[in-house]
């Protein structure tokens, strides 16, 4: 299957610290990819370079065959790359639906009844239709994570980057969010999931990439990666 994303030789430095070094990966259209690694391994830096939140220092990033490494984040969003963040930051004074109408106006140029209708449709898909007119400040943690995913979906992404959407949730809540991500993938959306909850990574991923010290140390099917000695050393030490 055709690749939707190709990262070649990507590096990123912060002063004298090398956060990424010669990272190479490709992701097929429609793939479910788990991105794992210990804290400080470079996961967030890599997805920030892909989404445009950070500029990579070297290498190339191609999305649907187009070189995007010099494009700002908003331009990458409009091309079909969306990211949900680990810590949701809703507009607390707005309702849940109003929170969705902001990115609709920014990315899609929609307002009024069209924005409202699309926002309600996405909230229904996330299981939040009944919360549409509620204040975002009243949402539970799992509802906030769902709203964060809903905001990302407003961009109608081809590639969704889910950054620790399940951190701090209970077992049943993790399963709830996983079900949503798998449903979105079945609609044709390619998904990169960054997550520390390994049973969630194993259930979700068709393929897993493990980063350590800014480099890919393993890339393969879930069982192969979690059984890899380098991966085990990265997580648990010698």
Per-residue pLDDT, 223: 92
pLDDT at residue 106, as a whole number = 57
Please state the pTM of the whole predicted model. Answer: 0.91
For residue 79, the model assigns a pLDDT of 93
pLDDT one digit per residue (tens) for the chain, 238 residues: 799 999 999 999 998 899 999 999 999 999 999 999 998 899 999 999 999 999 999 999 999 999 999 999 989 998 999 998 877 787 778 888 888 877 665 555 655 677 778 888 889 988 998 988 988 888 899 999 998 898 888 888 999 999 988 988 899 999 999 999 999 999 999 999 999 888 999 999 999 999 999 999 999 999 999 899 999 888 766 5
Residues in the chain: 238
pLDDT at res. 183: 93
Domains of the chain from N-terminus onward? 3-90+141-236 (3.40.50.300)
CA distances for 69 relative to 24, 49, 63, angstroms: 14, 8, 9
b/e 137-167 (16+ beta carbons within 10 angstroms → b):
eebeebbbbbbbbbbbbbbebbbbbbbbbbe
Give the position of tokens 């992701």: 27
pLDDT of the residue at 234 = 84
Write the burial class of residue 8 (CB in 10 Å: 0-12 exposed, 13-18 middle, 19+ buried): middle
């Amino acid at each position: 299957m055709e690749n939707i994303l190709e990262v070649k030789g990507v590096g990123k430095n912060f002063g004298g610290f090398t956060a990424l070094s010669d990272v190479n990966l490709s992701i097929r259209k429609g793939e479910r990819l788990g991105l794992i690694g210990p804290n400080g391994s470079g996961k967030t830096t890599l997805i920030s370079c892909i989404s445009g939140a950070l500029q990579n220092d070297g290498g190339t990033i191609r999305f649907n065959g187009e070189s995007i490494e010099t494009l700002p984040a908003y331009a990458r969003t409009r091309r079909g790359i969306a990211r949900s963040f680990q810590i949701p930051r809703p507009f607390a004074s707005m309702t849940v639906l109003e929170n969705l109408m902001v990115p609709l106006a920014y990315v899609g140029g929609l307002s009024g009844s069209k924005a409202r209708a699309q926002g309600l449709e996405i909230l229904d898909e996330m299981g939040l239709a009944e919360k549409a007119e509620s204040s975002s400040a009243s949402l539970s943690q799992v509802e906030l994570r769902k709203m964060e995913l809903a905001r990302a979906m407003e961009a109608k992404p081809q590639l969704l980057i889910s950054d620790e959407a399940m951190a701090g949730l209970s077992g049943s809540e993790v399963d709830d969010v996983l079900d949503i991500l798998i449903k979105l993938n079945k609609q044709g959306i390619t998904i990169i999931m960054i997550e520390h909850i390994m049973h969630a990574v194993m259930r979700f991923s068709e393929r897993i990439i493990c980063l350590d010290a800014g480099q890919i140390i393993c890339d393969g099917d879930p069982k192969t990666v979690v059984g890899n000695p380098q991966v085990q050393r990265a997580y648990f030490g010698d």
